[in-house]
């Protein structure tokens, strides 16, 4: 049996929910879309034909969740997710409370205002969330917004994940060690070029100040530019 590999975050970027951060993100996103529609699709330029500045903007756009401020919450088209999972499921989820839901789909909805929250008694150890891909995903980076990040209070009150075991097509491959930060954490792994399902199992948690429930706000999947 192959040994499970320990993986630690290579990037930890705090979430910017300020108005200034939102405006900056909107401007940068418009520049990225203009680059795609104009120079690349309109003029037919390839990546290697772009200027260094345009390549940097393109790289950001392909993995923008790593740099995402509050506007990412409302960016429903979510470019990266067009190439991501087509379905999500979980071993459990907390029942809806009023208009607030805690389904596994919330971890893949391009929103930091929602979250998947496990729904069993206790601290959620052993619960898991799974994603299915229609085609081999070419995933090299997994981004995770750990905890209920919509507000500082919600993040403190609810539990966060300390350790996740990652199963690739049912086989345990990696243990992700998450920092207790209200941030997007990026985990780099060897490219997954054949898998169709990824499952993330909670092995350890950071306890919440008020609730035992454990939350993950968002997953995103990307690849590195070589």
d(CA 117, CA 102): 5
Give me the pLDDT at residue 67, please.
44
pLDDT digits (tens, 9 = 90+) for 163-194: 999 999 999 999 999 999 999 999 999 998 88
What integer pLDDT is reported at residue 86 of this predicted model? 85
Q: Quote the distance between the C-alpha of residue 211 and its chain's center.
A: 23
Averaged pLDDT score across all residues of the chain: 87
Beta strands in the chain (DSSP E): 5-7, 11-14, 87-90, 116-117, 128-132, 139-146, 160-168, 171-177, 183-192, 197-206, 215-222
pLDDT, tens digit, 9 for 90 and up, residues 23-52: 787 788 889 889 999 999 999 999 999 999
6-29 mean pLDDT: 83
The pair of three-digit structure tokens given for residue 116, joined into one six-digit string: 């998947």
Is the CATH code 3.40.50.300 the one for domain 5-222? Answer: no
221 bridge partner residues: 142
Can you give the pTM of this predicted structure?
A: 0.77
pLDDT, residue 83, reads 53
Res 70 pLDDT > 70: no
Which residues are paired to 188 by β-bridges?
141
Given a cut of 50, is residue 8 above it in pLDDT? yes
Query: Long-range contacts made by residues 51-58, C-beta under 8 angstroms, separation at least 24?
Result: 57/28, 57/31, 57/32, 58/32
**Under 8 Å between Cβ of 110 and 101:** no
Residue 126 pLDDT more than 50? Answer: yes
DSSP conformational letter for 97: B
* Mean pLDDT, range 137-160, rounded to an integer: 93
């Amino acid at each position: 049996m192959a040994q499970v590999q320990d993986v630690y975050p290579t990037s930890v970027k705090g979430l910017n929910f300020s108005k200034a951060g939102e405006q900056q993100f909107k401007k940068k996103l418009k520049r990225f879309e203009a680059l795609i529609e104009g120079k690349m699709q309109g003029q037919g330029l390839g990546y290697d034909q772009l200027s260094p500045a345009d390549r940097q903007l393109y790289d950001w756009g392909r993995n923008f969740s790593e740099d995402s401020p509050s506007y990412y919450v409302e960016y429903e088209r979510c470019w990266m997710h067009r190439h991501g999972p087509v379905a999500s499921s979980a071993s459990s989820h907390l029942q809806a409370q009023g208009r607030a839901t805690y389904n596994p789909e919330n971890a893949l909805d391009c929103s930091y205002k929602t979250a998947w929250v496990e729904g069993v008694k206790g601290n959620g150890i052993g619960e898991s969330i799974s994603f299915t891909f229609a085609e081999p995903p070419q995933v090299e980076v997994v981004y995770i917004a750990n905890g209920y990040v919509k507000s500082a209070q919600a993040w403190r009150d609810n539990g966060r994940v300390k350790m996740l075991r990652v199963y690739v097509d049912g086989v345990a491959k990696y243990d992700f060690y998450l920092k207790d930060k209200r941030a997007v954490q990026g985990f780099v792994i060897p490219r997954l070029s054949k898998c169709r399902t990824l499952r993330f199992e909670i092995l350890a948690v950071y306890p919440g100040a008020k609730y035992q429930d454990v939350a993950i706000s968002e997953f995103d999947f990307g690849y590195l530019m070589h």
